[in-house]
Amino acid sequence: MPVQTIVAIVLMLGGVFFLAVSSIGLLRLPDFYARTHAVGKSETLGAILTLSGLAVYNGWELSTFKILFILIFVLLANPTATHAISRAALRSGLPPWTRKKKDNIEDKS
């Protein structure tokens, strides 16, 4: 098995791990602001690792540069979109989750 394929497999396994962390965080974290933490960072890193693994596996072609364009675009756009949504949520008055308040206890899920 060539070195290129082994590097691609390692990168894609790491990327799938971070995608799994992102989905579990989206399902299990208690609050909207905590879920943005899962989506904004783990999802970006998982997408970058998976796409770079595919680019390494593909070799030097035109499709590789298109995959690298998608990768750079995800790196710029995904945290920007998450930040825009969380700014809109904060300005629209969604309260952050705290452990101490009595009236937020039934709100966690």
What's the CA gap between 24 and 104, in Å, rounded? Answer: 22
| Closer to another protein by Cβ: residue 95 or 102 | 95
Give every CB contact of residue 51 below 8 A, 6+ residues apart in sequence.
Answer: 15, 67, 68, 70, 71, 74
How many other β-carbons are positioned within 10 Å of the β-carbon of residue 49? 21
6 binds another protein (CB under 8 A): no
> Which tokens hold the place of 70?
């998608």
x/- map, 60-79, another protein, by CB under 8 A: -xxx--xx-xx--xx--xx-
| Binding site residues, another protein, CB under 8 A | 5, 9, 12, 16, 19-20, 22-23, 26-27, 32, 35-36, 39, 43, 47, 50-51, 54, 57-58, 61-63, 66-67, 69-70, 73-74, 77-78, 80-82, 84-89, 91-94, 107, 109
